[in-house]
């Protein structure tokens, strides 16, 4: 059921979606430890990357060469996109992903991300520039279209395949939907039917049941998980075990869960520095506490503590609790 992506065989096509401010190196490392076919970095803006603006070059440098990591780039001009791809390749990247799906106004306002679906000819020039600049597998992540009147993902995917793209990921919403409503997995089938390269389904896939339904409706070759991984870095491995029969992960509970979270917290502080790391860590700590329904007062203490030692002291009381049973819909 797997497929080849360049010289890498993807035996278990369950991938981690790129999420700004979330899929940083510490989180990607943790997800990979449990098992993931591919993890995708946070999006790098090619223009900022080339001018070495703080916070962009570092994202590619840290983790680009890790075997199961794809580095995602975005932009609006072929030249900078091609040069950014070459630089990322020189850093040791194994896969380069082109972002044409981000719906954020600050991205689409600069004619990047999903705004490129409104100008397929220009989008193709960007794809050709990146694919022609490197010998690495180039992939594309996009949406169904700009809005319901322009669902042109099948046409864009066909053009991308012709330009050398090796895999397409489709989020089952239009740009104008942002993240509202439900992902239309069945609509992804038209993209699958338009190309011969693997198509990956994305959007609202939060566990084994939703992954199986998405695969059935879309006919996709695999799934990409975003929000379903929040507070559950083992989620991709669970999905893979259910669908592809890979070894099931040992999901930590009690003291083991506390230790995992403490180690993740320490990794974020080391990666970002104490001040920024403390702020970035709060969302992850919040998701971990959601899993065990930490009492509100204790939750506030953890999330407002400024000293790393204070956070670590509180984690045992906050997290050494039975996990709360949740439906997949609630997990989203």
102 is catalytic: yes
Cα–Cα distance list, 100 to 117, 140, 180 (Å): 7, 7, 18
- 60, 73, 102, 280: which is the annotated catalytic residue? 102
**For the chain, how are helix, strand and coil distributed in percent, rounded to 5?**
50, 15, 35
The DSSP bridge partners found for residue 167 are 139
Whether 100 contacts 117, CB under 8 Å: yes
Cα–Cα distance list, 280 to 107, 176, 313 (Å): 21, 28, 19
The DSSP bridge partners found for residue 155 are none
Q: Specify the 3-state DSSP secondary structure of 203.
A: coil
Which residues lie closer than 8 Å to 162 by C-beta, 6 or more apart? none
d(CA 61, CA 63): 6
Catalytic residue list:
102
């Amino acid at each position: 059921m797997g497929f080849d992506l360049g010289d890498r065989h993807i035996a278990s096509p369950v991938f981690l979606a790129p999420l700004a401010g979330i899929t940083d190196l510490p989180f990607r490392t943790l997800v990979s430890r449990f098992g993931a076919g591919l993890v995708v970095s946070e999006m790098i803006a090619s223009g900022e990357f080339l001018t070495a603006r703080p916070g962009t070059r570092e994202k590619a440098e840290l983790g680009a060469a890790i075997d199961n990591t794809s580095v995602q780039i975005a932009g609006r001009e072929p030249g900078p996109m091609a040069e950014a791809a070459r630089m990322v390749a020189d850093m040791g990247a194994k896969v380069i992903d082109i972002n044409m799906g981000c719906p954020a106004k600050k991205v689409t306002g600069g004619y990047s991300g999903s705004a490129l679906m409104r100008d397929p000819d220009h989008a193709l020039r960007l794809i050709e520039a990146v694919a022609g600049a490197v010998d690495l597998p180039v992939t594309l992540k996009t949406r169904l279209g700009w809005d319901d009147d322009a669902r042109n993902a099948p046409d864009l995917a066909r053009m991308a395949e012709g330009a050398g793209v090796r895999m397409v990921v489709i989020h089952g919403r239009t740009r104008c939907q942002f993240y509202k409503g439900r992902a239309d997995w069945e609509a992804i089938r038209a993209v699958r039917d338009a190309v011969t390269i693997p198509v990956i389904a994305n959007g609202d896939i939060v566990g084994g049941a939703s992954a199986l339904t998405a695969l059935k409706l879309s006919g996709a070759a695999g799934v990409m998980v975003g929000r379903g991984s929040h507070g559950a870095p083992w989620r991709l491995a669970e999905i893979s075990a259910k669908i592809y029969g890979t070894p099931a992960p040992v999901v930590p509970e009690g003291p083991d869960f506390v230790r995992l979270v403490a180690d993740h917290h320490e990794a974020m502080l080391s990666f970002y520095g104490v001040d920024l790391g403390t702020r970035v860590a709060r969302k992850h700590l919040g998701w971990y506490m959601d899993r065990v329904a930490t009492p509100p007062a204790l939750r506030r203490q953890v999330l407002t503590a400024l000293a790393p030692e204070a956070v670590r002291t509180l984690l045992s009381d906050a997290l050494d609790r039975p996990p709360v049973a949740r439906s997949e819909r609630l997990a989203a």
